[in-house]
Structure 1
């Protein structure tokens, strides 16, 4: 656990802390697998996070031009997989011009654009078609397959295969699947991966002898800290399967990040307690987005100001400094003891924290990032 007093003694506005040592250890634990591990940049695109992960992963999965740029600023040749449901002509052009040769394709329109660019540039691309499997059993927080907007509709699947086969510049190397996000059930996740492997086996005649079987990520973090996803057991079971490609984000970076802010004020309004840190959901939107009680610590501090307010053994809403009642970190939290000038430190803020937050709202200062 970081030395919070040393890290944050002079910090008043909200800050992020990324423990790069812990990140390296998590990445090392995956690098021993024979399967291909790609990091899903969407989880945390910080340049030092990417640089720390680079020696331990086979490449990076991106979903935008901006993410391609961030990866290419660190390496001109590290493998990149380009995914996402809406890739425009400019997106695809930028990707090809920056050395991306592997695409998770979700649309016939996307294939049309890729074919045009391949012919113009005389380049060769490997294509994985994203398949939306129905009836995947899971209790994950977010369901990414079934009745969603992701993947090729069934009626477009054969058309997509025919278009690739008719091209001299594109090769169907395999299929991409991604069925869940923040899944905690190892048994269900293994069953999903086996279903994906069965789909590949049924369509083996369309594919090369050793096809790409990209099963995405979706490995979860229990934000209520009641259980963990047993990655060791999962990977041990996966050793018996064909060669797989994983796109892992949250599991790698989520536990190694923190968001901290100092308590500016404490109020009671019409029977409701409020704790107001000098920060807000514009820095750390995740607890509001999922509207849950995010795990946190209170770091007691010496009082800096002459006026002091306290709360003890009560529930209170944590609310930020934005001019909207929506700037709350989920439902009310229980506080054993908190006072103005204390620090609130949210744990598990290393994935989908800063990246999904509305940093420009009200033009407040962006959070500083500290590294361990």
Structure 2
């Protein structure tokens, strides 16, 4: 754990800290795997983070032109998989111009565009059709399969296969599955892999000898217990399976990031305690989005203002500096001892933190980033 007082001396406005050494250590756990490891850029698209991961991964999974641009700023040829449910003609055209040839496809409209563009540019594309498997057992926080908007509808599947087979520029290289997000149950994930492999076997005659079996990601973090999915156990249990493609995001970057902000004020309003930060959910929206008590620590600091307020052994709502009552970090948090000018540091803020936040709201300053 860093020496927070030394690292954040003189700082009280909200900022992120990314531990790049810890990131390398997590990435090394994956680098010896027989499976193909792609980093899901949506988790954390910071360029220093991407550059740190590049030597350890087989490529990057992206879902926008902006994410493609960031990867191509680092490398002109590292493999990219382009996913996402709505890819417009301009999105696909940009991807092809940037050398992207692998696509997770979940729409006949997308296939129509790829067929036209691949002929125009005379390029050959690897297509993985996204399959929405039903009845996947999961305790994951978010369900990504079943009754969701993701994947190719069953009635479109045969038409999609026929369209690819009729093309001289597209090959059905395999299938893409992504059934859960933030799963902690290894056995459920292994069962899901088995279901995906069974689907591939059922349609083997449509595929090349060594098809792509892209199971997406979904490897989770238990934010309350501060544990991560047991990746080593999962890798061991899937050692004898077909070679998988994994798109890993949260598991890699979540634990290596922190969001810190100084305590500006403490209030008691109509029986409710509030701790107001010089920052807020516009920097770090994740605890509000999931409405959970995010793991945190309090760093005691010397009072620098003449006025001082404190709370001890009580619960309080953590709030930010936005002009809305919605700028709160989930439910009440218990504080053993906190005072104005102390720091609150939220742990596990390296994934879906800055990236999903409302950084433009009120035109406040964007959070700075410290790298350690």
Structure 2 length-normalised TM: 0.99
Q: Which residue of 2 aligns with 1:206?
A: 206
Q: Which residue of 2 aligns with 1:229?
A: 229
Q: Which residue of 2 aligns with 1:272?
A: 272
How far off is 1:228 after superposition? 3.7
Secondary structure in 1 matching 2:222: coil
Q: Which residue of 1 aligns with 2:27?
A: 27
1:85 aligns with 2:85: yes
Deviations 1:102-121 (A, max 9, x none): 00000000000000000100
Q: Which residue of 1 aligns with 2:11?
A: 11
Map residues 229-308 of structure 1 onto 2, 5 A cutoff.
Answer: 229-308=229-308
Secondary structure in 2 matching 1:48: helix
How far off is 1:342 after superposition? 0.1
Map residues 306-325 of structure 1 onto 2, 5 A cutoff.
Answer: 306-325=306-325
Query: Is residue 228–residue 251 contact of structure 2 (8 Å, CA) maintained in 1?
Result: no
Take 2:11 and 2:75, find their aligned partners in 1: how far apart are those partners? 33
Aligned length in residues:
372
1:70 aligns with 2:42: no
Map residues 89-100 of structure 1 onto 2, 5 A cutoff.
Answer: 89-100=89-100
How far off is 1:226 after superposition? 6.0
How far off is 1:12 after superposition? 1.8
Map residues 70-149 of structure 1 onto 2, 5 A cutoff.
Answer: 70-149=70-149
Take 2:44 and 2:251, find their aligned partners in 1: how far apart are those partners? 11
How far off is 1:259 after superposition? 0.1
Secondary structure in 1 matching 2:74: coil
Secondary structure in 2 matching 1:215: strand
How far off is 1:84 after superposition? 0.2
How far off is 1:62 after superposition? 0.1
Q: Which residue of 1 aligns with 2:328?
A: 328
Take 2:319 and 2:74, find their aligned partners in 1: how far apart are those partners? 37
Regions of 4+ moved over 6 Å: none
Secondary structure in 2 matching 1:325: coil
Q: Which residue of 2 aligns with 1:339?
A: 339
Deviations 1:256-315 (A, max 9, x none): 000000000000000000000100000000000000000000000000100000000000
Deviations 1:204-227 (A, max 9, x none): 000000000000000000000165
Take 1:70 and 1:357, find their aligned partners in 2: how far apart are those partners? 19
Take 1:39 and 1:80, find their aligned partners in 2: how far apart are those partners? 10
Q: Which residue of 1 aligns with 2:52?
A: 52
Q: Which residue of 2 aligns with 1:352?
A: 352
How far off is 1:145 after superposition? 0.2
Secondary structure in 2 matching 1:66: helix
Q: Which residue of 2 aligns with 1:37?
A: 37
Deviations 1:233-272 (A, max 9, x none): 1000111100100000000000000000000000000000
Take 2:252 and 2:143, find their aligned partners in 1: how far apart are those partners? 20
Deviations 1:51-78 (A, max 9, x none): 0000000000000000000111011100
1:362 aligns with 2:362: yes
RMSD: 0.6
- Structure 2: gaps (5+ residues): none
Q: 1:239 to 1:353 in 2, by over 3 A?
A: same
- Structure 1: gaps (5+ residues): none
Q: Which residue of 2 aligns with 1:166?
A: 166
How far off is 1:3 after superposition? 1.3
Take 2:99 and 2:176, find their aligned partners in 1: how far apart are those partners? 20
Q: 1:227 to 1:21 in 2, by over 3 A?
A: closer
Take 2:348 and 2:290, find their aligned partners in 1: how far apart are those partners? 13
